[in-house]
Amino acid sequence: MRQKLARVLGGVAITALVFSGAACKADSGSDASGNKAACDLKIGFFGPLTGDAAGLGIHMRNGTKLAIDQYNKDNKDCKVNLAEYDSQGDPAKAAPLAQQAVGDSKVVGIIGPAFSGESEVADPIFDAAGLPIITPSATRPSLSTKNWKIFHRGVGNDTSQGPAAGRYIKNVLKADKVYVVDDQSAYGAGLVDEVKKVIGTAAGEDKVQVKQTNFSAVVTKIQSSGANVLFFGGYYTEAGLLLKQLKGAGWKGTMVAGDGVNDANFIKVAGEQVAEGTILTCPCAPATAAKGTFVTDYKAAFAQAEPGTYADVSYDITKIMLEGVKAGKATRADLLSFISSYNKAGGATGVTYKFEANGELDPAQVLVWAFKVNAGKVVPDIEIPKA
């Protein structure tokens, strides 16, 4: 009877802990202050793991997975689990996935959402539930203007990337006629708006759609404009198809695009010869030149694959959450407070992660790089100087 009673009481206690947003604590996880690391909690990754934009999402998920796997190796008796929310980069899928995440009391933090459009749908749901997020890649500036207390951005936004891309077009490419095209996504349209502020009057502009495959009308307009540079705001599938059709029609200019195109899959879609010379920007340093053992560890964990765009950022921001968990931040509210007051350099990026009141990364830490497609690979070109 006594043994049975103990089991019943133990079950009640555990249930109470789970529904209060906490989980078990292990004596082996104590830190110097006496706090104990929370066990059996979850950190979620929210972004595209299948579909047309999966190339970007998988590298970010891998960075998160690597950080969690390394943490669990060092904390075998007090592990953290990875929960994956495959949005396919589609805002229409974001709401049910966000509801799924907030409905799991063991999920105490989200890495993501990866894209701006899905962020606009999911973040209000996360905010209502007090579930803290750090996005490694959603760059639309307006995301930090919504008064979401849970919002944090681990990179610069498009008010840094867009003008930098514009300066590269003007000062490095010295283009006299620039045509601009966006895919009407929250990300693509916002990025083009920022580029236009720097380049001035464009030679022409147009809009396409996500999942569009025939760009003949846009191709004709670009050729007729006499533009020698095309800036594209959107993602790699549409960018690759557009450039392939544009070059096939005889256009000799250079495409410049943002971080949504900065992925090896762009070269696969466009073709190696067609993609050659394309310039891709990112409010991030090259992941392949990350600090410490990150690159070696990543390749060892993922079949010798090179880390892609934002893999290193995802790794670092996941480690922020893990550091909070290790310190005993077992509730969403406690982890949110920990993240909001964080002020340390990441091991892979070297960036000091310090967030402003609106969740933006400290502007002093923001940098923008230009990458170039060369011989079938996306390689670093230059860090674009600040204005």
- Residue 177, pLDDT > 80, answer yes
Give residue 387's pLDDT: 80
Q: Phi, psi (5° rounding) for residue 136?
A: -85, -5
pTM of the model: 0.88
Overall average pLDDT of the 128-153 stretch: 98
pLDDT digits (tens, 9 = 90+) for 6-43: 333 344 343 333 333 434 443 334 443 334 567 899 99
pLDDT exceeding 90 applies to what percent of the chain? 89
pLDDT digits (tens, 9 = 90+) for 280-298: 999 999 999 999 999 999 9
Give residue 36's pLDDT: 54
Overall average pLDDT of the 332-337 stretch: 98
Give residue 359's pLDDT: 98
Overall average pLDDT of the 337-355 stretch: 97
- Residue 195, pLDDT > 50, answer yes
